[in-house]
Amino acid sequence: MDAPPDVAVINKELADCSTLFKELEASHEEHKSLVDAIHKLESDCVKKILKAKKLSGRLLKDVKNPAVKVDDRTKHIKHLKDMQEKITSIVTDYPIDTTWLISFILGPLKVCMPYPDERFNYKKTYEVYKLRITYAILALSSIILFRPIRILESTFNFVLMGYYLIVTLREHILLCNGSRIRRWWRLHHYLACIQSGVLFSWPNGENYDAFRSQFMLFSLYVGLVQLMQYRYQEEALYRKRALGQSQLMETTTDLPNNTTYVVVILALAVAYMFQLYNAVTLYNMLPAAEWQVPVLAFIYLVLAVGNIRATYNTSVNKYREYKSKKES
**Which range has the worst mean pLDDT, 45-49, 91-95, 305-309?**
91-95
Residue 49 and residue 87 in contact, taking contact as beta carbons nearer than 8 Å: yes
Task: Determine the residue type at 292.
Answer: Q
What percent of the chain is predicted at pLDDT more than 70?
Answer: 87
The pLDDT-based confidence of 76 (bands split at 50, 70, 90) is confident
In this predicted structure, the answer to whether residue 229 has a pLDDT above a threshold of 60 is yes
**Which range has the worst mean pLDDT, 18-22, 29-33, 110-114, 126-130?**
110-114
The pLDDT-based confidence of 42 (bands split at 50, 70, 90) is confident
The one-character DSSP state at 98 is: P
- The SS3 assignment for 316 reads helix
Name the nearest CA neighbour of 272 among 306, 239, 247, 244. 306
Please report the pLDDT score of residue 156 as a whole number. Answer: 93
**pLDDT, averaged across the chain:** 83
Residues near 305 by Cβ (< 8 Å), separated by ≥ 6? none
> Which helix H or strand E contains 39, and what residues bound it?
helix 7-62
- The span from the CA of 15 to the CA of 93, in Å, is 43
> Which helix H or strand E contains 271, and what residues bound it?
helix 261-283
Please report the pLDDT score of residue 97 as a whole number. Answer: 65
Of the CA atoms within 13 Å of residue 110, those in its CB half-sphere come to 6
- The span from the CA of 138 to the CA of 219, in Å, is 8
Residue 131 and residue 167 in contact, taking contact as beta carbons nearer than 8 Å: no
Residues near 172 by Cβ (< 8 Å), separated by ≥ 6? 99, 101, 102, 186
DSSP letters for 122-164: HHHHHHHHHHHHHHHHHHHHHHHHHS--HHHHHHHHHHHHHHH
**Which range has the worst mean pLDDT, 244-248, 281-285, 319-323?**
244-248
Please report the pLDDT score of residue 159 as a whole number. Answer: 92
Residues near 239 by Cβ (< 8 Å), separated by ≥ 6? none
In this predicted structure, the answer to whether residue 321 has a pLDDT above a threshold of 80 is no
Residue 181 and residue 254 in contact, taking contact as beta carbons nearer than 8 Å: yes
Report pTM: 0.76
- The span from the CA of 110 to the CA of 163, in Å, is 23
The pLDDT-based confidence of 180 (bands split at 50, 70, 90) is confident
Residues 231-264 pLDDT 10s:
776 776 666 556 554 555 555 444 444 556 778 8
Please report the pLDDT score of residue 327 as a whole number. Answer: 62
